[in-house]
Amino acid sequence: MSAADTMPPGTSQGTPQLLLAHHLKQLRLPTVLREYDKVARECARDGVDHPRYLLRLLELELIDRERRLVERRIRQARFPATKSLDSFVFTAIPSLNKMLVLELARCEYILRRENIIALGNSGTGKTHIALSLGLAACQKGFSVTFITVAQLVHQLMEARDEKRLLRLQRELQAPKLLIVDELGYVPLSSTGAELLFEVFSQRHERSSTVVTSNLPFEE
């Protein structure tokens, strides 16, 4: 442990560099700590005044902080893979409304607490689209959870047996966007179907849910 880590707040001992490092760590400004010397040299070279020097540093800190927040939301979403719309080949599925998908990526449906159902045969890119919408939501500042129907129903059945179903249901209500993948790929018991329906019902008009399925809409 360095001296900068052990100094008590408000201490006047140590070199300016050690004190600055200590205070910036206490204030949780790691980007300012990493960049202040380099930015100071650049500003001195360019004749930039002190307010603009501080502005540059704080802008770097804010940009880096938002990047870390996005990365954290992506980790918490538990995506099986990170997919973006940039890598989706819309020309392979001419019937897909590209403009609608791009509009959904703006995430305004989440603000309106609306839901999305993505239907299609296997291999038509439903999961890719769902993952891309989830990634866009993370980048827009929304909390996201991704899970397959099989995983979700298994967790619900297990929680019911262990008398913690209410807690799990509350957890599933928390994310602003819940992505439930592969509805219809695995047959569900009547109990599993009821528990799954309860999740959808509890989120209805409270938060958004995306469901992908290979079933016809009427099913």
Give the tens place of pLDDT for each residue, 108-122. 999 999 999 999 988
SS3 147: strand
Q: What is the domain partition of the chain in residue ranges?
A: 3-73, 85-213
The mean pLDDT values, 10 residues at a time, for the chain of 219 residues are 50 75 91 91 92 93 95 98 95 92 98 96 92 98 98 98 97 98 92 96 96 87
In this prediction, residue 219 carries a pLDDT of 74
Please, what's the b/e burial string for 142-157 (b: 16 or more CB within 10 A of its CB; e: otherwise)? bebbbbbbeebbebbe
The CATH T-level fold of domain 85-213 is Rossmann fold (3.40.50)
In this prediction, residue 12 carries a pLDDT of 52
Residue 9 half-sphere exposure, CB side, CA atoms within 13 Å?
Answer: 4
Q: What is the pTM of this model?
A: 0.84
* Structure-block tokens of residue 136: 């866009």
In this prediction, residue 3 carries a pLDDT of 47
In this prediction, residue 216 carries a pLDDT of 82
In whole angstroms, give the CA distance from residue 104 to residue 108: 7
